[in-house]
Structure 1
Amino acid sequence: MTCHKPNQTPKQQMFDTCSLGRDGGSALAPPADRRFCSQNFRRLGWLFPSAHRCRFSRRRPPTDQSPSRGDSMMDVVMKDEKSMEEEEDYVEYVPVAKRRAMEAQKILMRKGKASALEEELEKSRLAEAKPSLLVKASQMKRDQPEVSPTEQIVQQEKEMIEHLSDRKTLMSVRELAKGITYTEPLLTGWKPPLPIRRMPRKACDLIRKQWHIIVDGDDIPPPIKNFKDMRLPEPVLKKLKEKGIVQPTPIQVQGLPVILSGRDMIGIAFTGSGKTLVFVLPLIMIALQEEVMMPIVSGEGPFGLIICPSRELARQTYEVVEQFLIPMKEAGYPELRPLLCIGGVDMRSQIEIVKKGVHIVVATPGRLKDMLAKKKMNLDNCRYLTLDEADRLVDLGFEDDIREVFDHFKAQRQTLLFSATMPTKIQNFARSALVKPVTVNVGRAGAANLDVIQEVEYVKQEAKIVYLLECLQKTPPPVLIFCENKADVDDIHEYLLLKGVEAVAIHGGKDQEEREYAISSFKASKKDVLVATDVASKGLDFPDIQHVINYDMPAEIENYVHRIGRTGRCGKTGIATTFINKNQSETTLLDLKHLLQEAKQRIPPVLAELNDPMEDVEAITNASGVKGCAYCGGLGHRIRDCPKLEHQKSMAIASSRRDYFGSGGYRGEI
């Protein structure tokens, strides 16, 4: 029995009850006392630390090992020791399948073969212990070979060009959605004479070398040195003789056979080299072939499409097409109807021609997209597409309009791109729309016409308009004056009229009638001077111009090349005078300096004194294979320092920050 002392609390009494042999009594309490002890312990277990809990509070052993009332203390201790030994000798049960796998593994290990299970375990261990990204990066940096600074710059420029060329492919939405790709060019019925077809490759390369033609592509057609062997219709040959075109130019020698064979082509040649005939004559041949095979009916057509960046260039190209179609009709050939599709003209007259059936369309992107959207015209039968001044079309923001035009093509087409300035980034982007293209390059892309004498003069801004009259005395009229701003065009036009000079002006702010009158009167020699913005610098042909004056140096060297290309055409010699001052950026002046050096022109002292960083980057040019800037074509800087690229980036950032919801003013006042 457990003796409780008087005046003890229930907790003290329970503690004495649970103590072992404290009062010399039995260690085991009676059942009633044990029940009391366990209940109180569960209720007041927080009093007893886990290391000092009495045995009555522990979980009872299984029934077969529970001590009976008559068991002695020694028996209980022996049973506890036995149960502990059994726990130590306990072996975990292993399933049969796992035991078999382990036995098979032992056998394979004896034979010296690693098991698949071990390999998986090893892989899992490696995966768990894989290094961090920082460790990987440092390891890769250590493993990479040493790269020179020149190679680093070349790699950076290559990545920039790839990023700039990584645009949406120039294909229709239907082709992109269905994954349609064309692997072979279109077939045509045209073939050169047998002796030319059998011409060996060395002979072809020799002709190209003599004509300074650089070609790139697979299975390039041989060059042809006269129009008769190109198998053009007799009325076309007669018209060429009337125009004084007896022998083809270098771009025509190689470009015409390529296009007549049905190949896609990128044509690059200096201004005034006859690029228009290269894509106009094959288009006439294709339209004639389609009309002979199956005459066109009302509402059908066109078979060929020419897209130009400006209305003036589109009208000029349309007039060239008409010059060859009229004598063909007079000679008894089927009538081929052309269409001039430009803005500023009533659309109803254009729709009337489409209703009769049209064979050839010369268009600007805006009006063409409008007519296609209104379903006034379709391109279901169109198999021939030319983008004249292709780089200008992209730079002027017509890229999305051209994509919409591409959506209206129903089948494969022959695509041609032409320009005097075709930077690398435009060439890479254009190749996404072409099938096995052939690149025909006559001279460097963006090079100035060697028949133009370039004179650069330093003139202060306030003295320009007075010095202009003195420059007009260098050559007899007609003279073309280029300005950057519309306001300068109007000011110079007014000043020349006050001085008694017969002058006309043209810029984008004038309506279509004024623009057409200015161009036609200047071409007809009714006016002596034409003052214009860059709208007249791209592709327009003024064969009698001997002098071009740049009232201010354009910000982009590409525009300068197009401007001075209005003179010195068709083998004639011309003069280009350019005014420069401190308002021009140093990058633009460096581009001009290198362009003069390339053309072996006199460099004025103001340009010669400029600090030229490109003198030390000849190694970069040799390593990259790109001379100058791959983005704008300027020779005085690399793509990393391109002002045109920086300007476009800043414009993109500004447009992204525009507040479209908060800039309308009150009730749309602004």
Structure 2
Amino acid sequence: MKFTEFGFDERLMEGIDASGYENATPVQEQVIPLVLQGKDIIASAQTGTGKTAAFLLPLINKIITDPLVNHTNTALVIVPTRELAIQIAQHMEGLSYFTSVSSIAVYGGGDGNAFVQEKKALSHGADVVICTPGKMMAHIKMGYVKLDGLKYLILDEADRMLDMGFYDDIMFIINHLPAQRQNLLFSATMPHKIREMARRILHQPAEINISISKPNEKIVQEAFVVYEEQKIPLIKFLLKKKDFAMVLIFCSSKQSVKQLTRDLQRAGIKADEIHSDLDQDKREDVLMQFKSRRLPILIATDILSRGIDIDNIDLVINYDVPHDGEDYVHRIGRTARAAAEGTAYTFISPREQRKFLSIEKLLGKEVTKAKVPEEFGEVPVYNTTPQRSSGGGGNRNFSKPRRFNNNPSRGNGK
């Protein structure tokens, strides 16, 4: 279905054309007409399916065609992270460029000037406010946020917000909104707690299910079964073996991100890091360098696993096995986007085997186990029936790191 078939206002169509949009994705085909009809929606859709445009486009269209809109905090989009808030705000700016719709991103970590700008927008009014729960709740508590004219509420990445402990913050915000409004809830998964929240805030919602929790078939998935101490030498070897233009590496902790970044930089590999310990300006600068291809390798925590809108990432590496199957799908889903192909490597240490087995169960297939070069020495056996007593295998020596023939400090660039 083409975007010209939705009946959008010509001012919005200019923004759509300028953004290079032509054909709607499945989630856009289903969501856009229902939003235009004024229905509440609960939609299960993975990242990368086009769900951001699925709610932004009809939202912009409704605002510019409704003569009763007072342009004072008309719509509220609540998201789990600063990065996603910034990304949606940038997306919003592009799509609404030829309209009079105003927007602002409200999130933590900014300086005093950012706070003043947010306060001004929230008290005098912007059409669309994109915010993180905690920061928005703080503004509301200060008493100057005008919400009486709000007509639309969008919860994006709702499952992740609940996982991050934002339920009370979200309900606090909702309790300060007008009862008569249109509600849209988007979530990659639909656990019981999401459905419970949906029952509290949605009114006779239309339900859409696009999420299958399966990776893009164009992603070549491979896993390396190694000891923990072999991970850094192996990652250096893989990065030097082939020249990847854009590489995104995920670690499960900030400590791992920092250590890996230091080791790669010492080996002469151009890489940088992004995690919550960095100030907002630094995070945005690193991300912009990566997007513009000035930085070939970005190492991150799961803060970037969802919602980051970057095409043409050649390789995603899971330095640590993700916590669950959904996180795995979201991490590797950063590659093979926009009709491109991509590769995803996962490093599995002995203690992580049980987690990866559960991921393979979700995928419904076994991920190919790539051969580790002989110079790395002995590697663990991947045990498909790990025993609890050994943390992943029947062999009592299974979880013990072994000596191998590479010297990490030499960059392993053979």
TM class by smaller structure: 0.7 to 0.9
Structure 1 residue 295: Cα displacement: 4.8
Aligned partner of 2:59 in structure 1 is 283
8 Å Cα contact 1:590-1:607 kept in structure 2? no
- Seen in structure 2, the aligned counterparts of structure 1 residues 424 and 355 have a Cα distance that, compared at 3 Å, is closer
Give the one of 341, 344, 352 matched to 1:573: 341
8 Å Cα contact 1:501-1:528 kept in structure 2? no
- Seen in structure 2, the aligned counterparts of structure 1 residues 543 and 607 have a Cα distance that, compared at 3 Å, is farther
Aligned partner of 1:430 in structure 2 is 198
Aligned partner of 2:215 in structure 1 is 448
8 Å Cα contact 2:12-2:61 kept in structure 1? no
Compare CA radii of gyration and give the structure with the larger one: 1
- Seen in structure 2, the aligned counterparts of structure 1 residues 450 and 426 have a Cα distance that, compared at 3 Å, is farther
Tell me how far apart the structure 1 counterparts of residues 310 and 4 of structure 2 sit (CA, whole Å).
Answer: 27
Report the structure, 1 or 2, having the larger strand content.
2
Aligned partner of 2:398 in structure 1 is none
Aligned partner of 1:246 in structure 2 is 22
Aligned partner of 1:5 in structure 2 is none
Aligned partner of 1:616 in structure 2 is none
8 Å Cα contact 1:589-1:607 kept in structure 2? no
Tell me how far apart the structure 1 counterparts of residues 80 and 189 of structure 2 sit (CA, whole Å).
Answer: 14
Give the one of 375, 385, 390 matched to 1:611: 385
8 Å Cα contact 1:378-1:408 kept in structure 2? no
Give the one of 555, 571, 578 matched to 2:323: 555
TM, length-normalised to structure 1 = 0.53
Aligned partner of 2:2 in structure 1 is 226
Tell me how far apart the structure 1 counterparts of residues 191 and 123 of structure 2 sit (CA, whole Å).
Answer: 40
- 1:264-308 deviation per Cα after TM superposition (whole angstroms, max 9, x unaligned): 112222331111101111221222234x33554xxxx21101111
Aligned partner of 2:390 in structure 1 is none
Q: Secondary structure at the match of 2:200?
A: helix
Tell me how far apart the structure 2 counterparts of residues 307 and 294 of structure 1 sit (CA, whole Å).
Answer: 20
Report the structure, 1 or 2, having the larger helix content.
1
- Seen in structure 2, the aligned counterparts of structure 1 residues 566 and 294 have a Cα distance that, compared at 3 Å, is closer
Aligned partner of 1:272 in structure 2 is 48
Q: CA RMSD in A?
A: 2.3
- 1:333-376 deviation per Cα after TM superposition (whole angstroms, max 9, x unaligned): xx222111111123112122335431100000111001111022
Q: Count how many residue pairs are aligned between Structure 1 and Structure 2.
A: 375
Q: Secondary structure at the match of 1:415?
A: strand
Counterparts in 2 of 1:71-82, with a 5 A limit? none
Aligned partner of 2:152 in structure 1 is 384
Structure 1 residue 478: Cα displacement: 1.1
Counterpart residue identity of residue 74, structure 2: F
Aligned partner of 2:283 in structure 1 is 515
- The reply on whether 1:491 has 2:267 as its aligned counterpart is no
Aligned partner of 2:225 in structure 1 is 458
TM, length-normalised to structure 2 = 0.85
Tell me how far apart the structure 2 counterparts of residues 241 and 451 of structure 1 sit (CA, whole Å).
Answer: 27
Tell me how far apart the structure 1 counterparts of residues 15 and 64 of structure 2 sit (CA, whole Å).
Answer: 17
Tell me how far apart the structure 1 counterparts of residues 59 and 308 of structure 2 sit (CA, whole Å).
Answer: 20
Q: Secondary structure at the match of 1:327?
A: coil
8 Å Cα contact 2:43-2:208 kept in structure 1? yes
- 1:198-253 deviation per Cα after TM superposition (whole angstroms, max 9, x unaligned): xxxxxxxxxxxxxxxxxxxxxxxxxxx22122111224333333333211111111
Give the one of 298, 306, 326 matched to 1:530: 298
Aligned partner of 1:339 in structure 2 is 104
Tell me how far apart the structure 2 counterparts of residues 341 and 607 of structure 1 sit (CA, whole Å).
Answer: 48
Counterpart residue identity of residue 367, structure 1: K
8 Å Cα contact 2:324-2:359 kept in structure 1? no
- 1:558-610 deviation per Cα after TM superposition (whole angstroms, max 9, x unaligned): 22121111112233222111000211152x22222223435x85467989851
8 Å Cα contact 1:256-1:279 kept in structure 2? yes
8 Å Cα contact 2:70-2:149 kept in structure 1? no
User: Once superposed, which parts of structure 1, at least 4 consecutive aligned residues long, lie more than 6 Å away?
Assistant: 603-608
- 1:508-553 deviation per Cα after TM superposition (whole angstroms, max 9, x unaligned): 1111111111111111111111111011112111112121100010
Q: Secondary structure at the match of 2:126?
A: coil
Give the one of 250, 258, 262 matched to 2:38: 262
Structure 1 residue 507: Cα displacement: 0.8
Aligned partner of 1:306 in structure 2 is 77
Q: Secondary structure at the match of 2:135?
A: helix
Counterparts in 2 of 1:473-492, with a 5 A limit? 473-474=241-242, 476-492=244-260
Gaps of 5+ in 1: 1-224, 329-334, 614-670
